[in-house]
A and B are shown apart, each in its own frame.
With several copies, the nearest count.
Chain A
Amino acid sequence: MKKILNRPVDYVDEMLDGLCAAHPDIYAQPSPRVITRAGGATAGKVGLVTGGGSGHLPVFTGYVGRGLLDATAIGDVFASPSAEQMAEAMRRADGGAGVLRLYGNYGGDVMNFDMAGEMLEMEDIASTTVVLADDVASAAPEERAKRRGVAGMIYAFKIAGARAEERASLDEVTTTAQKAADACRSIGMALSPCIVPQAGRPTFELGEDEMEMGMGIHGEPGIWRDKTKPADAITDEMMDRLLADTPLGRDDRVSILVNSLGATPLEELYIMFRRAKARLDDLGVAITMPLVGRYATSMEMTGATMTICRLDGELERLLRAPANCAYWTVT
C-alpha cells in the first residue's frame, strides 16, 4: 500500500496525460478530464459514454475504443466528475444518433449524469441512461435498484459497444445495454485497502489475518468480516451468493469475470477461476469467453470480484464481436 506519485492533487491529470501519450492511437483528451476515442465521435453511430471517479483503471477511461465506448468523464480518485464534464463527454460522443449514458450506480454519479442529461436536452442531443447495479452484496433482490455497480459494468460496455457499432438506433442500443446490465451479477471480497492520494490514508482497516466478504470497490462495508479462508471456500461463498441471486442450470451459457481489485495477482485469480468453473461444471452451466485479470480495480487494493454474465444468443454474439482498447482486444 505504497504509492508512486508526485503531488496528490496532480495524480489524475498526470495519469490522463500519460494514458493519452502512451496510446495516442486510441485515446484523446479534448478537454480536461474528458477522454474520447482518438478519432472523436463516429458519424451515424450511437455514442456511448461512461464516467465516474478515477482510481479504477482500466475502468472507466480504459474502455474507450473501437467496439467499446466513445467517451468518458473522469473525476478525482473515487469522486464523481462534474455534470459539465459529463455533458462535454456526451457532446464529444454524439455522432448524430444520440448518446447512451452507461455508468455505475453511485449517488454522486447518478445526480451529475442526470444533470448532464438535462443540459444536453437543451442542446437537442437525444440521450438515454442505463445504470449499472450488479453488486449483489449491496442490497437485497427486492431493492435491486439500490445496488452498486462494480466489475460487471465491463460486460455492458462491451455488449452495448458492439451493438452501437452495428449502427443500431439509440433505443435499440439502450435496450441491449439494459439487457446486458440485467444479465450481470457480481460480488467482491477484500483483503487490504488502497490509499486515495489526496486523503493519504487507507480507505479502511482490516486485521493482518482478516478479510471482508461483499466489500465495495471504495471500501463500502460488506456482509461479514472475519479470518481469511481458503481460496476454494471464498470462491464457493461468492458463487453461492451469485447463484442464489440468479439461479442457473443445464442449458445456461455464461461468461464469468474473475477480477483483481489491483494487488491480487493473476496466479490467485486462476486459482479462484478453477474453483468457479468446477462449480458451474457441476451445474451443467457452459462457460464461454471467461475473463480473468484486472478489469476493474481500486488501485492497489487486495481482493477480487466475481461476476456472472448470463448470455443469450444476442449477448454472446455482441460479447464476441471485435473490439479494441489498450486493455482488451477481441478479434
Chain B
Amino acid sequence: MGEITAPALAAAVARIAVAAEAFAPELNAADGALGDGDLGITVSRGFGEAAGAALPADVGLAFLECAKAFQRVSSSSYGTLVATALMATAKATKGRDAVPASDVPGLLKGALDAMMARGKGNLGEKTVLDSLHAVMLALDERGEGDVMPAAVRAARETVESFRARPNKLGRARMFGDGSIGLADPGQLAFCLIVEALQTAMVPAGRTGVTDGD
C-alpha cells in the first residue's frame, strides 16, 4: 500500500462507489434477511455522495468531507458508523498532506474505538466491528508491502466464521438464534468494500495513489 493522500482517497472512494452500485442488491438482500433491507442503499448512497465531494489536499479535511457526505445521505446505523470512522480518521490526520501506510493500523484502531463508543458495541457481537478488528490485526502482522490480500482474507474470514454465531447487537439481534447461519450484513458490506479497495489499489499509480511497493 502506498501513502494516503487526498487524491488517493478520492480515487479509492470513487472505486468503492462504482463497486457499491453493483453489490447494493446483494447487501439489501442480506440486510433484508436480518434487518430492514436498506444496507445496500446506505453503502452505495454514502460512497456515491462522498465520491461526488470535492476533497481538499489536507488529508484530515478530505476525510472530514467524506464523513460529512456520508452523514448527509445515509443515517442508518452503518452510515453513521462509517461517518464516525471517517470523522475519527479526519481528526487523527488533520494538517497533513500525506499519511504513510504504516499509520494505517493505528488509524483503524482509532476508527474502531470511535465506532465502539458511538454504537456502544463490543467485539464478538457479530457486527462490522469484528471485521474492522480482524483487518487491523492482519495489517499489523503483515507489516509493510502489499497488505490488501491479507485484508481481504481477514474480512472474508470474519464473515464466514461469524456466520455460525447469533447476532448480539443492532436490529439483527432481534432474530436471536434465527440469525445463526446468516452472514451479518455489516460484515459482508465491509468485506465487499475491502475487495473493491483492493481492485482500486492495483492500478493505483494511474489514479493518483502513490504506490509505495
Contacts and interface: CB of A to CB of B under 8 A. Distances in A.
Interface of A: 75, 78-85, 106-108, 110-112, 114-115, 138, 146, 196, 198-199, 203, 216, 218-221
B118 A220 contact: no
Contacts, number: 60
A75 B118 contact: no
Given A108-B80, A115-B84, A220-B171, 11 more contacts: A79-B75, A83-B75, A83-B80, A111-B81, A114-B118, A115-B71, A138-B174, A146-B173, A199-B37, A219-B36, A221-B175
A199 B39 CA distance: 12
Interface of B: 36-38, 41, 71-72, 75-77, 79-81, 83-84, 118-120, 169-171, 173-175, 178
B46 to A, nearest CB: 11
Contacts of A146: 173
A75 B170 CA distance: 18
A114 B118 CA distance: 8
Contacts of B36: 78-79, 196, 203, 218-219
A82 B174 contact: no
Given A111-B118, A111-B119, A84 B72 contact: yes
B174 A221 contact: yes
A115 B37 contact: no
A112 B80 contact: yes
Given A111-B80, A111-B119, A221-B175, A81 B75 contact: yes
Contact of A80 (B41, B75, B81, B118): B75
Given A107-B119, A107-B170, A80 B76 contact: yes
Nearest to A78: B36
A135 to B, nearest CB: 10
Contact of B71 (A84, A114, A196, A220): A84
Given A146-B173, A220-B171, A111 B77 contact: yes
Contacts of A219: 36
A218 B193 CA distance: 28
Contacts of A108: 75-77, 79-80
Contacts of B80: 80, 83, 108, 111-112, 115
